[in-house]
Amino acid sequence: MVGPLLIDLGSEEQKAKYLPGILSGEDYWTQGYSEPNAGSDLAALSCAAVADGDDYIINGQKIWTTLAHKANRMFMLVRTSSEGKKQQGITFLLLDRTDYPGMEIRPIIGLDGIPEQCEVFFDNVRVPQTARVGAENDGWSVAKALLRHERGGSAGSPAMYRKLEMIRAAAEGTPSPHGGMLADDPVFQRDIGELEAEIASHAAFEKLVISGHPLGHDPAMPSMNKVMSSELAQRVSVLITRVAGTEALPLQLEALNVGSNSAALGTELELVAMPYYLNSRATTIYAGTNEVQRDLIARTLPAA
């Protein structure tokens, strides 16, 4: 998200400093947007940054900060003025570290048992003003530019194809309630066939959005991509749980940790089915709820 944003809006110094680490994967960024009282209504954020010499001093809190405890950098929105509309007075900052003095990160255990989201607290955290992207108090414009990359700049279809491969393999050895194997069940064949066709269609759409094609620059496209991708992911997760059945109920957190050498009970599909299902409940909420996205689509696309 932040790499394309810096290419578009960052200073030459910021591009030189941050883009190489993003490209190489040496730097891992987390997004400091949501707050306890500013989720879907992001403009209501109150985490404040006060100018002090060449620095900003940050006080406040962020929440749902994905993998903040694993990241070494953060981009965030802060309140630098309370005058005018709430969309005004917001500034976009880049943080070189996630362990500044006065900064505390507390992981949140999700419904799937995994600490993916975090709370982040700022107590007089000092960062340089050179970390600002765009003008002070114009962070809302920067944030909207970044959201286009968040909603339309990634491709979810390859992971969905991988899940379909797992489902097909498992269905070969899973009895059907109607007799025989599930892979031969006409109802299952219909369901997975329809899902695969829609994922293929979505994959073509994703390529259009991220390829630089003129249609991909339509302001409605990121919202359309987000709605389709998130709802397809939830449908895939439902089909996975149908195939895995009750064997997927044990939550094997240690086996889910890469490098733990903890042997999983059952198949790979049974290991990941329930965590994937539970985690995917949030896909239609994060990055702007799908209800908000549909409203944006309706207001952006020309009438038929």
Q: Does residue 150 have an active-site annotation?
A: yes
217, 229 Cβ separation under 8 angstroms: no
Query: Which of these is catalytic: 35, 116, 150, 206?
Result: 150
Per the DSSP assignment, residues forming a β-bridge with 127 are 56
Q: How far apart are CA 78 and CA 294, in angstroms?
A: 27
User: Residue 178: helix, strand or coil by DSSP?
Assistant: coil
**Phi, psi dihedrals of residue 275, rounded to the nearest 5°:** -55, -40
Nearest CA to 49 out of 92, 6, 9, 18 is that of 92
Q: To which H or E segment does residue 29 belong?
A: strand 29-32
Q: How far apart are CA 251 and CA 48, in angstroms?
A: 39
List residues with catalytic annotation: 150
